[in-house]
Amino acid sequence: MGQTTTSTSSTTTNSVQVVGVYVRDQDEALAFYIDKLGFQVHTDVRNGDYRWLTMQYPGQPSFQLGLFRPGPPMHDAATAQTLQAMVAKGAMPPLVLEVDDCRAAYERMRAKGVEFTQEPVDRYGAVDAGFRDPAGNGWKMIQARR
């Protein structure tokens, strides 16, 4: 028999604050996300070898992108190596960056050295392009529909 659960509080607020990606080098990722994509550092703290590094995109103060290196205390060496290999191959799900003008953003970012995997194309009523960060994480850049 199923059980139904109901909330007794109507004032509870839940939201996603941090989504993380695995990177091979946090300093390299930090430079990429700041210099090439325009992110800003939100939190950068260390506890021994562990580093909690999150970025924010201007205009989205409630959302953080975590740049995390696989390894202790979360992963053993074999798991960390597997995760890094999967990211490098582009096997992780892509992230999505919405922009006002995909073609203009493509030219700006390409001039800054961003590696694109797909030039801007028109499809499904929008324009999109694909790029990767230095670790291999895939991004789709999609023009906001008007």
pLDDT tens-digit profile of 8-46?
556 677 888 999 999 999 999 999 999 999 999 999 999
Residue 129 lies in a domain: yes
Residue 84 lies in a domain: yes
Residue 2 lies in a domain: no
The per-residue pLDDT for 55 is 97
Residue 92 lies in a domain: yes
The per-residue pLDDT for 13 is 75
- How many separate domains does the chain show? 1
The per-residue pLDDT for 3 is 54
* Residue range(s) defining the domain that contains residue 129: 18-143
pLDDT less than 50: residues of the chain: 5
Residue 37 lies in a domain: yes
Residue 71 lies in a domain: yes
Which H, E and C letters describe the chain, residue by residue? CCCCCCCCCCCCCCCCCEEEEECCCHHHHHHHHHHHCCCEEEEEEEECCEEEEEEECCCCCCCEEEEECCCCCCCCHHHHHHHHHHHHCCCCCCEEEEECCHHHHHHHHHHCCCEEEEEEEEECCEEEEEEECCCCCEEEEEECCC
Residue 25 lies in a domain: yes
CATH of the domain at 96: 3.10.180.10
Residue 8 lies in a domain: no
The per-residue pLDDT for 15 is 84
